[in-house]
Structure 1
Amino acid sequence: MTQRVDLATVMDQLAIDALITDYARAVDDGDWGVYRGLFSPDGRADYSSAGGVEGAADEVADWMEQTLRLFPMRQHLIVNRSLRFDALDGDLGDTAQVRADYYNPMRMDPESDAPDFECGGRYAFSVLRTRTGWRVTRVVVHEKWRRTGGSGSTKPTS
């Protein structure tokens, strides 16, 4: 590879990393317009392993907007990101797969000191290079555990 190709790959990696970070911030901030804009027009999201819905990104954003109102404090961290570029029509680099672990504490009572709900698992993102930048074509949540009510007991979910 030439240095120019290496630089393009690094730039794509940084852009995809920013896309995943923007995804976390949009969910945590409840910015559903930004959330919708992170997806390709046919983008889909699947939260069914976490007790949620699966569907078009717009429909899922509507569901999340209603559901997450219960938790005025949310912050999820997306870590241990692994990125693999795929071939699309014979060209390497126009699609990619991202696997990333998440930890998500949420709180119902803004006056409380502890989260009411915590969960963790792994995201599987499929992303596509578009004319407007990298966009999510599909995200699947694989919840692995959850803890509710500050009980201290953790329950596997898969």
Structure 2
Amino acid sequence: MTQRAEHSTIMDRLALDDLITGYARAVDDGDWPGYLALFTPDGRADYRSAGGIEGGAEDIAAWLAQMLGQFAMRQHLIVNRRVGLARPDGTPADTATVRADYLNPMRVAGPVSETDDEEAVSPNYTCGGRYDFAARRTPDGWRLTGVVVHEKWRRAELPGD
């Protein structure tokens, strides 16, 4: 691999890292226009393993806005990112995959219990699993073409537990 190809690969990996971090922040902040901007026009996502839906990015953003609205706090931690980028000959590619684990603590909105007016301050719902991201280089930079969630576990502490 030449020095130019190595530099390009490093720059692509940094851009893909920013893309995945942008995904986590958009979901956590409820920034649905920002979420949509991360996808190609034909981008799709599959949240079925977490009890969700599969569809185009616009349908997914609308579903996420509705479902995640019941959580007062969300914080995706996307870690152990494994990037697949280079072609077999080692030259930079225009498509990429990222497999990453996630931990997602959230807090359900509302009082701690039926007799308490105070909001909870710590997470009471946590899930974890793995994401499979697919991305494509576009004139506007790297964009997601697909997201598949593989939820492995979840833990919920309901009010009064």
User: TM-score of the superposition, structure 1-length normalised?
Assistant: 0.89
* Structure with a larger share of its residues in strand: 1
Supply the AA of the counterpart residue of 1:125: F
**Paired residues, number:** 148
1:143 to 131, 142, 151: 151
1:132 to 135, 140, 157: 140
Shift of 1:60: 0.4
Q: Which residue of 2 aligns with 1:5?
A: 5
Query: What is the identity percentage for the equivalent residue pairs of Structure 1 and Structure 2?
Result: 60
CA contact (8 A) 2:127 2:151 kept: yes
Supply the AA of the counterpart residue of 1:7: H
User: TM-score of the superposition, structure 2-length normalised?
Assistant: 0.87
| 5+ long unaligned stretches in structure 2 | 111-118
4+ runs deviating over 2 angstroms: none
Mapped pair 1:85 → 2:85: yes
* CA distance, structure 2, for counterparts of residue 86 and residue 3 of structure 1: 14
Shift of 1:92: 4.6
Higher RCO (CA 8 Å, separation ≥ 6 residues): 2
| 5+ long unaligned stretches in structure 1 | 152-158
Cα pair distance change 1:150/1:115, threshold 3 Å: farther
Q: Which residue of 1 aligns with 2:42?
A: 42
Shift of 1:113: 3.0
* CA distance, structure 1, for counterparts of residue 14 and residue 85 of structure 2: 13
* CA distance, structure 1, for counterparts of residue 108 and residue 152 of structure 2: 22
